[in-house]
Structure 1
Amino acid sequence: MPKLIVFIILNLILLNISNISSANENGSNFSCKWENKNETACIEIIGLVPNSSNFTKSGINKITITKKQILESGAVDLIDVLKSVPDINITQSGPKGQQASMFMRGTGSNHTLVMINGIPINDQSTTQGLHDFGVDFIQTIQQIEIYPGSTATNFGTNAIGGAVNIVLTGDYKDSISVATDYMGNYEFSGSKTYIYDESSLNVKIGSVKNETISARGNINDEEDSLNNYSTNINYEKFLSENTRIYSTTYLRKTIAEYDNSNTNQYGYEGDNKMGAIQLGLENQINSKKDNYIFYYNIYDREYDELGTIDTYESEVLGLKYDLSRILNKKLSYGIGSEFKYDWGYFDNNGSYEASTKGHSDNFALYGNLGWNIFENSNISLFSRRDDHKQTGANSTHKINFEKMFNNFNLGISYMNGIRNPTLYEMFGTDNYGYSGNRNLKPEKSNTYEMYSDIFLNEYVNLSLRAFKANIKNNIEYIDNKYQNDLDNIDLNQSGLTNQINIKLKNTSLNFFTSSLSSKKENGASQLRRPDKNYGLNLTKNFKNSIFGHLKFNIKYNHYGKHFDTHSTSFSTIEMDSTDLVDFKISKKFNNGNFYIKLNNALNETYQRPHGFNQEKRTIKFGFKY
């Protein structure tokens, strides 16, 4: 409670600071202005990055995947979108709906922060604090943003490897879409917007049914089913040309069968429910922006294992305020604060019994300064201080320098990050003697990075990015207890990613390669992190003499050789590489779009991780109106 009081007082102070006059405050910064006309309103999606201002944005590594790109790819779930992004490796324990983990830049699966509209949504009832990407589907998602590398100064703790931001906003294009295959599986989505004098209400719904293969055992055994339902409601009202109130509500329910072992394949089902509510007030004109957000997240998960019920619940309540200012043509700054209260509980029954119940809170202050020190040269400084109930006060920082030349830019960054221990690591117990350790310290990281974007001509550009990072104070399970590793030997990661983008009149091509080295303390390679990945995404418009204008899309991804744990002997084994190809061809007519998609066209048979089958070749037919 004292932290909440401090939060309110500081925001009153920050509000007073924000009212100090600055240059060029007249006029609007919106390219879309609200006009009460009987026509579709324009929509502009601006990714909200906390702790950023005008001259610091160039120092933030951000990959944006738009709604158009998501639709062109034919993606069904979040994994379909992320698996072709450099710096990201994903494993999933079976077909769609099964638990999935992401390793960004070679870090652990609990080192990626996941957000909705810039608000963290990592489930506090998980033992390791990781996000399950297997239960998120894209039917109501408007945009996806990926931030490779430590982004602790922007988004807070747990973003050691990076962050993924799911953007949910109103979609002013009413639509209905359905896809199916010969096995009766389907994907459905719909969007409807109601526009009033100075406000709008958008409702989006989605549903997915998938039943293709068995997660474990013989790939032709019983098929593990998935049923997903999602709803997204967005409302906004303009109080004036520059001031609006807004809200986002997201509800998701994913029911998936899973297999406990090769011999126990029936009677296992997970029911994963999640909800998020965000209420905001935003004011923006040319030289300044203020944003207040109240948010509430809730998870309710149940796993039925032959009548034994495991229950996981968590809640997060938070308040946040961001301001950014342009002082003049050379300087910009931002200031913000956030108070967050986490509560979590789970009860795991059966042969392995574990439970936890606890809470924590965190109060953060952060700020940034952007300086256009020379012509086409920016220095960006970021700082954040998190005061956690259990681990105390910890600070993170970032400095970035970028120089623009005629046809390319060159940048260099240093950043650090932290991951606070989870509620289970601090308060949990199990029937093998583990008892929570409240004296744990946060894991900490350091990252050094160089990058360049080279514009060869108006059609071709090349992106290069190299990094080297380390993680210390690693939290490990030793002698029935989670402890910080104190041997002064760090986990080390380094890598190089390249992207070539070619955009012609009727063709766009993206080709990427990724080289990664992720090492344990003994120098051995980390599991499930291949050294080499590469792939491409090609979209081509062409005209056929019979069918007329068509759009063709091909996605190819090479997932390199890597080490994994054998699912029964638990020994370390080497896994072979995989080459996955997806095709999609679509035909647009009037207000409709018909398409055919071929997934896993080469019918690659593989397991990732070992012991868990992945889906075979499938053909889908879809229509959007």
Structure 2
Amino acid sequence: MTKTYLSLIAALAVAAPAAAQEIRDNANAVTTQGSAGDTIVVTANRTATPIGRVGQSITVLDADIIRERQAQSVSDLLRTVPGVTIARNGGVGTSTSVFIRGAESDQTVALIDGVKLNDPSSTGGSYNFGNLLIGNIERIEVLRGPSSVIWGSQAIGGVVNLITTQPTEKLTVNARGEYGYRDTAQGVVNIAGKAGPLSASAGGGYFRTDGISAFNEDRGGTEKDGYRNYGANLNLNLAITDAISVDARGYYSNGRVGIDGFPAPTFAFGDTREYGKTRDLIGYGGLNVALFDGALRNRFGYARTDTRRRNYDPDGTPVETFAGDGDNTRLEYQGVADIMDAVQATFGVEREVSRFTSSSYGGPETVGRARIFSVYGQVSVTPVVGLTLTGGARQDDHNLFGGKTSLAGSGVYSPNGGATTLRASYSEGFKAPTLYQLQSEYGNAALTPERAKGWDAGVTQRALDGAVEASATYFHRNSRDLINFISCPAPLTGICTGRPNGTYDNVARATAEGVEVGITLRPVEPLRFQANYSWIDAENRSAGTANFGRKLVRRPSQSVNASIDYRWPFGLETGATVTSVGSSFDTANNSRKVQGYVLADIRAAVPITQQVQVYGRVENLFDEQSETIFRYGTYGRAAYVGVRLSY
């Protein structure tokens, strides 16, 4: 299998080298360039930093890549990132899990414009990427590896940071409409500009599709499970003075998706008329104050995430089968101090309160609340040209389980002005027990945080004035005190006292190690080729259990992604992406395997005028029959056409 993947990369590399792409500047310094031409990233250090000064592994999908790929959902882009795999319960809009470097899906921090998206009402506290469409997202940063010093709880696998369209100096209007497979239609619009001291960006979108059967159509599914979503985004900045400004940001998403279940009388998985509704409301307000000619930048913020979920079965009694509400509020202060030219410090204080309510089939309502107070600090030092060292610590105090300290350190060194870059990092992550695990009818108030320690090391080599760039990274992570649901047979003693239906306990351990290899070729300006290969070995290391040494569920050990894009002299843009994912196991004892698959997508776009572009794509060109989860369907060959307007 490995030889097949490597041969695929080699063949595409010979067929299609790639060109450099320009990085678009903006007022927030999110996509500007450093002095050495480095991309600026914000996720690694929670402040704008040239990527050449970052010792951790990070991938950036910028506005050009997002536009070229023409993806509908964020998860379709994330599956092309090294070390990232996804699993989805059917078509667009269904429950979608994102796994980074073999970690659990609920060990991924998801952010939109810097605000956490986790859902306190979900069992594992994770965010469902199924309801997250591209819409007006113009940049995605994926940080791989434990990152709790900066981002707190859940950052064991990594961080996915989504950045919506930012305000612009001049008035800009961008819109697109699309139609295709199974009556899929979407429309997106965004308006940005500046009037005096006020900068603004606002937009909205609508998406609908008849979809496919969540129960795999190749296994007998016949009823289509459609999806509908409408949403909006808002970003405001008011410059009161040169040193003081006020931010306000908001994001709204409302989705309805068909799902399949276990209908009577056989209660075997199959078609049902069930559906779910999810409403996400995210808001942020902040005050920015720069002191000492900008050497000390302070941010005072308030953020809230409010998620409402409902499931319905029109053929059941009661009709409402699940109701869940999760609310997360955060007060925070962050400071960034340029102590001297070679030393920068980032520090902050956070207070987060989470609440949830849930009920099933009209039963009694479960209610929970928790508070966590955090203090963190990180220092980056550049003692000599080309070398940056970063270290930090975080202390979290949870009102139920107590305190947790996290540490991290990294280094990046280039001896030749960026031609060769060596990176290494050590980092720790933790995940607080969820409200459901602590306070539901199955809850255990004695739970402690899940913990992880990981390190990675890698090298990036650039040649021929940037026309060739190759990288390789090795990583290793140990996780302990993982929380699992356990059965409680009689007699009910210890943590099982009063829990005849089971409870949660810190009983599991896991390891993950792997290699990520990438190459980018840019021989001429119009041509760009990118490819990456990931090998991940994620194992259950819970000593004394029946599944010790087994592979973790839904973690493919190998994946390959390759993409080529070419801009023709007369304006036509063409491209293709090939994604190959190896097999995985769908059960903890590895008794049931999900076969690997290869997906090929092609795309094109052509300008009609300077402001109008027509585009189209064919996904799964060869109509590959595949599953990411046993018995759940995926799309066959599908075609879409659309038009973009920009002024």
Question: TM-score range, shorter-chain basis?
Answer: 0.7 to 0.9
Aligned ranges 1:209-228 → 2 under 5 Å? 209-219=208-218, 221-228=222-229
Q: Does 1:609 align with 2:629?
A: yes
- SS for the counterpart of 1:608 is coil
- 1:421 deviates by 0.5
Aligned with 1:277 (options 283, 290, 301): 283
Q: Which moved further from structure 2: 256-265 or 329-338? A: 256-265
CA contact (8 A) 1:401 1:411 kept: yes
- 1:204 deviates by 0.5
1:38 alignment partner in structure 2: none
- 1:194 deviates by 5.0
Q: Does 1:593 align with 2:613?
A: yes
- 1:294 deviates by 0.9
Aligned with 2:601 (options 557, 569, 582): 582
**For residues 583-617 of structure 1, what are the alpha-carbon distances to aligned partners after superposition, in whole Å with 9 as ceiling and x for unaligned?**
11000132011011101111111121001010111
1:493 alignment partner in structure 2: 512
2:5 alignment partner in structure 1: none
Q: Does 1:469 align with 2:477?
A: yes
Aligned with 2:155 (options 144, 156, 159): 159
**For residues 388-446 of structure 1, what are the alpha-carbon distances to aligned partners after superposition, in whole Å with 9 as ceiling and x for unaligned?**
111111010101122211121112211111111001100111xxxxx310000101101
2:18 alignment partner in structure 1: none
Do the aligned partners of residues 324 and 571 (structure 1) sit closer, same or farther apart at CA in structure 2, a change above 3 Å counting? closer
2:399 alignment partner in structure 1: 389
- SS for the counterpart of 1:490 is strand
CA distance in 2, matches of 1:33, 1:338: 23
2:327 alignment partner in structure 1: 315
What is the identity, as a one-letter code, of the residue corresponding to 1:551? E
- SS for the counterpart of 1:142 is strand
**For residues 506-565 of structure 1, what are the alpha-carbon distances to aligned partners after superposition, in whole Å with 9 as ceiling and x for unaligned?**
11111100011000121111121111111112111124xxxx421012111001111113
CA distance in 1, matches of 2:340, 2:287: 25
1:18 alignment partner in structure 2: none
CA contact (8 A) 2:243 2:294 kept: no
1:247 alignment partner in structure 2: 248
- 1:317 deviates by 1.2
What is the identity, as a one-letter code, of the residue corresponding to 2:325? E
- SS for the counterpart of 1:518 is strand
- SS for the counterpart of 1:390 is coil
2:414 alignment partner in structure 1: 404
What is the identity, as a one-letter code, of the residue corresponding to 1:372? T
CA distance in 1, matches of 2:431, 2:255: 28
Q: Does 1:439 align with 2:446?
A: yes
Aligned with 2:440 (options 418, 424, 428): 428
2:10 alignment partner in structure 1: none
Do the aligned partners of residues 286 and 348 (structure 1) sit closer, same or farther apart at CA in structure 2, a change above 3 Å counting? same
Aligned with 1:104 (options 100, 106, 127): 100
Do the aligned partners of residues 461 and 218 (structure 1) sit closer, same or farther apart at CA in structure 2, a change above 3 Å counting? closer
- 1:186 deviates by 0.6
Q: Does 1:117 align with 2:116?
A: no
Aligned ranges 1:122-201 → 2 under 5 Å? 122-172=118-168, 173-181=172-180, 183-193=182-192, 195-201=194-200
What is the identity, as a one-letter code, of the residue corresponding to 1:442? P
CA distance in 1, matches of 2:202, 2:50: 35
2:84 alignment partner in structure 1: 88
CA contact (8 A) 1:51 1:366 kept: no
CA distance in 2, matches of 1:572, 1:399: 40
2:342 alignment partner in structure 1: 330
CA distance in 1, matches of 2:193, 2:386: 44
Q: Which moved further from structure 2: 501-510 or 368-377? A: 368-377
- 1:45 deviates by 8.6
CA contact (8 A) 1:53 1:326 kept: no
Aligned ranges 1:55-94 → 2 under 5 Å? 57-94=53-90
Calculate the TM-score normalised by the size of structure 2. 0.84
CA distance in 2, matches of 1:615, 1:320: 42
Q: Does 1:365 align with 2:375?
A: yes
Q: Which moved further from structure 2: 337-346 or 307-316? A: 307-316
1:518 alignment partner in structure 2: 538
What is the identity, as a one-letter code, of the residue corresponding to 1:177? R
Calculate the TM-score normalised by the size of structure 1. 0.87
What is the identity, as a one-letter code, of the residue corresponding to 1:104? I
Do the aligned partners of residues 31 and 270 (structure 1) sit closer, same or farther apart at CA in structure 2, a change above 3 Å counting? closer
2:498 alignment partner in structure 1: none
Do the aligned partners of residues 611 and 264 (structure 1) sit closer, same or farther apart at CA in structure 2, a change above 3 Å counting? closer
**For residues 243-264 of structure 1, what are the alpha-carbon distances to aligned partners after superposition, in whole Å with 9 as ceiling and x for unaligned?**
3211111110010011114665
Do the aligned partners of residues 337 and 182 (structure 1) sit closer, same or farther apart at CA in structure 2, a change above 3 Å counting? closer
Do the aligned partners of residues 601 and 518 (structure 1) sit closer, same or farther apart at CA in structure 2, a change above 3 Å counting? same
Aligned ranges 1:445-464 → 2 under 5 Å? 445-458=452-465, 459-464=467-472
CA distance in 1, matches of 2:550, 2:409: 31
- 1:234 deviates by 1.5
CA contact (8 A) 1:214 1:222 kept: yes
- SS for the counterpart of 1:252 is strand
- 1:375 deviates by 3.4
Aligned with 1:559 (options 539, 559, 581): 581
Q: Does 1:538 align with 2:569?
A: no
What is the identity, as a one-letter code, of the residue corresponding to 1:303? N
CA contact (8 A) 2:146 2:157 kept: yes
CA contact (8 A) 2:120 2:356 kept: yes
CA distance in 1, matches of 2:436, 2:605: 48
Gaps of 5+ in 1: 1-29, 35-43, 430-434
Aligned with 2:305 (options 297, 308, 312): 297
CA distance in 2, matches of 1:354, 1:198: 51
CA contact (8 A) 2:190 2:201 kept: yes
CA contact (8 A) 2:247 2:285 kept: yes
CA contact (8 A) 2:573 2:605 kept: yes
Q: Which moved further from structure 2: 353-362 or 523-532? A: 353-362
CA distance in 1, matches of 2:253, 2:329: 18
- 1:265 deviates by 2.1
CA distance in 1, matches of 2:152, 2:106: 14
CA RMSD of aligned residues (A): 2.3
How many residues are aligned here? 570
CA distance in 1, matches of 2:269, 2:393: 52
- 1:32 deviates by 4.7
- 1:184 deviates by 2.5
- SS for the counterpart of 2:130 is helix
CA contact (8 A) 1:342 1:361 kept: yes
- 1:202 deviates by 2.2
CA distance in 1, matches of 2:313, 2:55: 48
CA distance in 1, matches of 2:383, 2:364: 55
**For residues 273-323 of structure 1, what are the alpha-carbon distances to aligned partners after superposition, in whole Å with 9 as ceiling and x for unaligned?**
010110112235553322221111101111002313310001111111111
- 1:52 deviates by 5.6
CA distance in 2, matches of 1:183, 1:371: 54
CA contact (8 A) 1:364 1:386 kept: yes
CA contact (8 A) 1:171 1:191 kept: no
Q: Which moved further from structure 2: 51-60 or 517-526? A: 51-60
Do the aligned partners of residues 447 and 591 (structure 1) sit closer, same or farther apart at CA in structure 2, a change above 3 Å counting? same
- 1:201 deviates by 2.8
Do the aligned partners of residues 276 and 95 (structure 1) sit closer, same or farther apart at CA in structure 2, a change above 3 Å counting? same
Gaps of 5+ in 2: 1-24, 30-38, 263-267, 488-501, 542-547
CA distance in 2, matches of 1:194, 1:381: 38
CA distance in 2, matches of 1:510, 1:62: 15
Aligned ranges 1:223-234 → 2 under 5 Å? 223-234=224-235
2:528 alignment partner in structure 1: 508
